[in-house]
Amino acid sequence: MKRVPIRRVLDVLGGLVFALLVLVPSITGLGALPALGGALNPGTGVWRLAADAGTARSGDLTLPGLKQPATVSFEDNGLAHVKTGDDQDLFRVIGYLHARFRLVQMDLTRRQASGTLSEVIGAATLESDRFQRDLGLRRTAERDWASLTGDNPARATVQSYSDGVNAAMRELRSGNRLPTQFAVLGYEPAEWTPVDTLAVQRLVGQKISFDSQAPLFSYAEKAMGRDAFKEWFPDVPENEQHPYAKGPFQKLPLTPLPQRSFPDPSAGAAKATAAGQTRPANPVALGAGAELAPLLAKLGQLPDSGMGAMGHSNSWVVSGSRTESGKPILSADPHLPHSLPSIWYQVEGSSPGYHFSGVTTPGLPVPLLGKTDEFSWGLTASQRPTTLYYLEKTDQRRPDEYFSKGAWQPMTLLREKIAVRGQSDVDHTVKLTSHGPVMEMEGVTAAVWWAGTLPNDNLRSILTMLRAKNVGEFRDSLRNWVTPALNFSYADRHGDIAMFNAGVAPQVDGHEPTLPLPGDGTAEITGSIPFDALPSSVNPPEGYIVSANQREVTGDYPYQYSTSYNWVLHGWRDGEIIDRITSAGKLSFAETAEMQSDWHDNNARQLVPLLLDALRGEQLSGSEQQVVDLLRGWDFNATPESLAPAFFDSFKNRVSWVTFEPWWKHYGVKQNPGQYLLPKGPDAGAWAQETLRGTVLGWIQHDPENKYFSLPDGTKRTTTQVLREAFHQSAKRTVDKFGADLKGWRYDKYQKVLFPSLLGISALDVGPMPWGGNPRTINTAVGTRDDENGNPLSNLATAGPTWRLNVDWGTGEANAIFPAGQSENPMSPWYANGVPVWMKGQFWPLLEKNAVRATAEWRLQP
């Protein structure tokens, strides 16, 4: 018998493991195992996982274009530390690193931004491609690149980054080591360009700031009428609020918006464009296309939509007067959808002009949050409208025209072709009015004005920020920040703390930009809130600043700002954070880090005592009395092993249901096409339901005789009656679900957390695992998936804190963690090694310079 070399045996076994885990239908539900043809050849196809699945090994490497030798040091957990002798070399090496560890993620991300996913996946992603072509991130990126002058440091930075990415791709291609996913899909990635980076930058902003709240809530506003709608959905939520900018405010003249250029109509009508497609000239051959259909259909579901789906993040800064160390502490944890690989790649970068530690997004050369030698910073999304919808007047007799400012205007037509795997190209026409592309959102056809397509120089802002020496320079670096609208938290070694809101804030005279606007020219944007009038706070007397997606300003702010349905969180997380800070005495570094794992529910803290008061004298069953006793002893901590959260999860829904459901029917409010404006049942989540939690709590606290507690037919109901009815319903529902024996109640019986694979392949997921928390706890757990019936799975957390950062400028301590790993390779030890650390509330130290304990080092030569 012929003996097979040991290495070849290991390669084959590794490939079989991958095939069994990823492609066998009994595990993935993908159907028949695809016949992958040449992809299965040992040494060239999926087997190449065995060669690149380990950790980094020390060695000498060549990186063309380097001006001086550079090093990349790796900790045993995969965290990377880059040291270069030239500033542009720093970004060249970061590009090289990203491509070595995240190339599939980078290619799928740029394809999503450019509307070219269908080229490699097929018809399953056509709607995503059409959406992105309409919105125009690629057009915007091409315009941005053309406008970057040679003296703008952002131009050299994105070019150096692209050079590093391409050097890595050439190295991987020449060594037959491109990631396995490319072989499975049957193509090779094209070279990376600066336009790709600028498109990815826009996509990151899109997922934070593009929303459809205006058309979504227009269903309620039309049915209810303006007065009732404003009572339910006021600008400032009814319950206690914690704005970090408290005034007094100054009213300054509006700032003109950057001018957004549109393509010339005649050129657009004549030109068929692929909008930056990257179809390879010689894709890797696979078996027949039909054999890949099950896998491609699965992949077609991901990456997820570019629509913003949540509004969650925390950041707080505490001055030295409140800390044990006597210097400021900053904590930040951006909340986004979980994925493997993560949106983040953590890196320390050191060059003559820069030194930072933070997280980058593969595709972008700069950190988005982290620390330098002078300061640390975090980000939270500002929940104010930057997506406006214009209802254009059209006429079937005048195709491709719209009526505005007293005359019929021609639409700009951009005719494009979308390449689709396995079929002919699909023609697509983008229609643009002066307000933006004409799109259908939530069943409403409108021209979409989105700040994310305005000209911006955000990369230059970040590069300038990274060199800031004090709070004044940090603030000045944000003056030209355009989009997305963000809150930048700040703490420095000098003792200063601050929070600055940045980004355009469009103003519309006489109309509410949070609802669809008339497109006839009477609701044009008149400008933006000037930077000096945006919310800010520097060294406030209370000694702390908290941002957790609450409304940043008080009700007397003199500009149009957010409303209660702009994803503004209603005081839950910010209230809990403030309570923890103000009750801590002198806050320690360990305490601030522990706060990021806190599962105390501030909504429950306020609502449960009101319920217990309402139940005094009420006739209760035996099981109901046990629930009352349970609630009396509850510390409002939604931990996995807790009993009370299993009840409260139903009760908080039932309070809104009992109050508002009769009125939904009375007003005849229609459900949106996506079926998530209104709750489908008393225990179902919905956008309106979540928004109204603050409204109903505020009424119970401050307006117990509010007319909406009574029924539309005139039947009088008191606040007490509403709370009692919600209690009885919730107690029965919880007993039916968990049993009459309260000892069998546990929150984690149905509360889980899942870290899904970017490719949508369940065998590459981590989880689901028992978990705690909810959208209102500091340690946020948010469900972003639906079940087979289209109902939201609110108790399967697929989003939450994606990176936790803590920096104490007194002790010099800093730590961070993200629930993933540095590598996208599912067979790498660095694929998900951060998940168990994150779940335990633990951290990896944020090591820098001489403190780095490197287990491997790449020595890069020009």
Other Cβ atoms within 10 Å of 364 Cβ, number: 25
Phi, psi of 767 (to 5 degrees): 110, -170
The letter for the amino acid at 560 is Q
Report the distance separating Cα 398 and Cα 396, nearest Å.
5
Nearest 5 degrees, angle CA 166-CA 167-CA 172? 95
Per DSSP, the three-state class of 14 is helix
- CB-count exposure of residue 549 (10 Å: 0-12, 13-18, 19+): buried
Phi, psi of 665 (to 5 degrees): -65, -40
Catalytic residue among 162, 209, 212, 313: 313
C-alpha to C-alpha distances, 283 to 48, 180, 183, 393, 421, nearest whole angstrom: 17, 14, 9, 46, 12
Helix (H) or strand (E) holding 806: strand 804-808
Q: Does the annotation count 313 as an active-site position? A: yes
Structure-block tokens of residue 32 = 């028949």
Nearest to 108 by CA among 118, 93, 94: 118
Is 513 among the annotated ligand-binding positions? yes
Helix (H) or strand (E) holding 603: helix 602-614
C-alpha to C-alpha distances, 169 to 195, 462, 535, 827, 861, nearest whole angstrom: 17, 27, 44, 20, 17
Residue 229 CA neighbour count, 13 Å, CB half:
17
Nearest 5 degrees, angle CA 237-CA 242-CA 243? 90
Report the distance separating Cα 667 and Cα 663, nearest Å.
6
C-alpha to C-alpha distances, 666 to 199, 220, 366, 709, nearest whole angstrom: 46, 12, 53, 14
Report the distance separating Cα 101 and Cα 109, nearest Å.
14
Residues with catalytic roles: 313
Which residues carry a binding-site annotation for Ca(2+)?
A: 513
Which residues carry a binding-site annotation?
A: 513
